Structures are given as C-alpha cells and as structure tokens.
Amino acid sequence: SDASEIGRVNLNAGQRAVQVSPDVVKIILQARKVSLETQGAFDISALPLQRLWNFKSSNPRVPTKEEIAEKRHLVDFRAVVLDSNTVFLPRPEMGLDLGAIAKGYAVDQAVAILKKDGYSDFMVEAGGDLRTVAGELTHGERKIWVRHPRKPDEFFAVIKKDQCAVATSGDYERFFEKDGQRFHHIIDPVTGYPARPVVSATIIAEEAVIADAYATAVFVLGPDRGLELIEKNPGLEGLIVFEKESESDSMLGWKVSKGIVEEIEIVN
Ligand code: ADP
Ligand code: MG
C-alpha cells in the first residue's frame, strides 16, 4: 500500500533511494506542484514536525521552541529526490507524510473503477473527502453539506452541485487542548505550530486529489492568501471559515470564492 511504501522511503532516509509505485510518484508530483504554488505552506516532508506533535498517538503534546527550531530545517519539499520510480530523502531525519493528499487520490481511484464498471450516478466519500458523478437521476438535485467547524451536529453551508469533488480540512478532526488553547494537526511548516486562524477550509474541484491537497494548503495559507490562491486557479472554488482574531473569542468569519457564490448557501 501507499502507507508502507512511504514507510520504507522514510526508513531509508539518508541511506538509499526506494522504489515506489506509479501511484506514489503521481501523488508526490502533485504535492510538489501545490508546494511550489504555496511557497511551502503545503509540504509532504513536514513529518519531522508532526513527529514532535505526535497527533496520531493517544498522547500528543506541545513541543518546546527548541525542538521545533531543531526540526524545522528538515522540512523541505525541494530536497526530496524523485526519480521515475524511486524516492530518496537525502537526510536521515527527513520523512514524508501523504496524509493531506492520499485520501483524495484514493477517492479518485474508486471513482475511476466505478465508472469503468458502468456506474453513472454515485458518490464516493472517505473521511471528509468526496467526489460525485452525476447522471440523469441527480441532475440539478445534488446537495453537498459542509459541517459546522464548531457545532458537531450542525452544518455551516450547503453547496448545490451535481458533479464535483469536495474536500474539507478542519481543525476539529484531530486536536487536543492545553491551557485553554486548541492545538490541531495541520501544521504551518514555517512556524512549526498549528496553522491559524482558519478553522475549516473547503475546496471544490474536479478531482478529489486536487480538492484534498488544496484544502490543506488553503488552511495553512489563511483566509487572505488562501482565497487568493483559489481565485488564481480556474479549477478551484472554496469556502474558508476562520476565527476573527480581533473580536472576542470564537467569533467566526467566512469567505467564499467568486465562482461558487451562486451555488453555495451559508446556513448557520
Ligand atoms: P484530514 O486528514 O483531517 O482529512 P487534511 O487533508 O487536511 O485533513 O490532512 C491533514 C494531514 O496532513 C495531517 O494529519 C498531516 O498528516 C498532514 N499535514 C499537516 N500539515 C501539513 C502541511 N502543512 N502540508 C502537508 N501535509 C500536512
Ligand atoms: Mg487535505
């Protein structure tokens, strides 16, 4: 699987290039494109920082400033050596994590299989990433609901769209609280800390791999630079929900890209 291939790449960091499947090569190439477009706000080589925070474990923690300073320079998508079918990480402590993009890629693969099998009206969903294929049945009927980032049982918005991919990155997916502060799993590679002030970023695109990667990227970039990135890319639309820093705590603001204004309704 992708996960074990990447595991081998990471184990051999600083030692040797590891052979990987065409799928992994495609994912890394796509990730690199998003990294270049975001000046590294999106970076699949952020694993050394994620290891410090340890969000995937049962006891994540806040690392010290010194620990972050020590690991930050290991995060550098440009240093990843990608060949036609091998990946090499030049420094022993480097590591890749495809968590921000691989799920979207898997959704696209599932869609391709279902299409090949003759299905023409369906939705594939995997933990916050989805893609719909619309035929006559759904024409003009499909609605995609976006979760409220602070109210677990409520929606924030609804999108009217027959066929598209939608991915949301949220700070509510994986987080812990310490001294009244929320620490979540989407890390700004520049600071080494969880990205602020976005709380959820939803991207609409043609393919789920694109929506997934840009949702994480826009989350890290923030509401202004994030929206700029969406508007610059003809294939992207999006909704960004963020904490208004100036107001009293937990006031949410939101921004919607121009191309989706007609199809999206804010319901909360
Ligand atoms: P989710 O996994 O909740 O659907 P995302 O698609 O946003 O959400 O992926 C978040 C995951 O991406 C994190 O758990 C981590 O593995 C990885 N990640 C965190 N920060 C970054 C970043 N700046 N660039 C790329 N990947 C990241
Ligand atoms: Mg993502």
Average pLDDT over all residues of the chain: 95
Q: Is 50 in the pocket of ligand 1 (CB under 6 A)?
A: yes
Residue 1 has pLDDT above 70, yes or no: no
Percent of the chain with pLDDT over 70: 97
Q: How far is the CA of 264 from the centre of ligand 1 (A)?
A: 25
pLDDT-derived band of residue 32, with 50, 70 and 90 as boundaries?
very high
Q: How far is the CA of 101 from the centre of ligand 2 (A)?
A: 5
Q: How far is the CA of 136 from the centre of ligand 2 (A)?
A: 30
Q: How far is the CA of 50 from the centre of ligand 1 (A)?
A: 9
Backbone angles phi, psi at 67, to 5 degrees: -60, -45
Q: Dihedral sign for Cα 116, 162, 204, 237, please.
A: positive
Query: Which ligand has the shortest distance to the CA of 190?
Result: 1
| CA gap 89, 13 in Å, rounded | 5
**Mean predicted confidence (pLDDT) in 142-151:** 96
Backbone angles phi, psi at 163, to 5 degrees: -130, 120
CA-nearest residue for atom 23, ligand 1, is 42
Q: Is 220 in the pocket of ligand 1 (CB under 6 A)?
A: yes
Report the residue among 216, 220, 229 best suited for mutation to probe ligand 1: largest number of ligand atoms under 8 A from its CB. 216
Lowest mean pLDDT: which of 176-180, 215-219, 221-225, 237-241? Answer: 176-180
Maximum alpha-carbon separation in the chain: 58
Residue 247 has pLDDT above 60, yes or no: no
pLDDT at 81: 98
C-alpha radius of gyration, the chain, whole number: 19
b/e sequence 13-26, b meaning 16+ C-beta within 10 Å: beeeebebeeebbe
pLDDT at 123: 96
Query: Which ligand has the shortest distance to the CA of 172?
Result: 1
**Mean predicted confidence (pLDDT) in 211-221:** 98
Q: 209 vs 104, 189, 214, 247, CA distance in Å?
A: 4, 21, 9, 35
pLDDT-derived band of residue 56, with 50, 70 and 90 as boundaries?
confident
User: With contact defined as beta carbons under 8 Å apart, do 130 and 144 qualify?
Assistant: yes
Residue 116 has pLDDT above 90, yes or no: yes
Q: Is 127 in the pocket of ligand 1 (CB under 6 A)?
A: yes
Q: Is 217 in the pocket of ligand 1 (CB under 6 A)?
A: no
Q: Dihedral sign for Cα 13, 15, 21, 22, please.
A: positive
Query: Which ligand has the shortest distance to the CA of 214?
Result: 2
pLDDT-derived band of residue 59, with 50, 70 and 90 as boundaries?
confident
pLDDT-derived band of residue 2, with 50, 70 and 90 as boundaries?
low
Q: Is 221 in the pocket of ligand 1 (CB under 6 A)?
A: no
Q: Give the predicted TM-score (pTM) of the model.
A: 0.96
Strands (E), 93-233: 122-126, 129-133, 143-147, 155-160, 165-170, 175-178, 181-184, 198-205
Q: How far is the CA of 246 from the centre of ligand 1 (A)?
A: 27
| CA gap 33, 31 in Å, rounded | 5
User: With contact defined as beta carbons under 8 Å apart, do 227 and 257 qualify?
Assistant: yes
Q: Is 166 in the pocket of ligand 1 (CB under 6 A)?
A: no
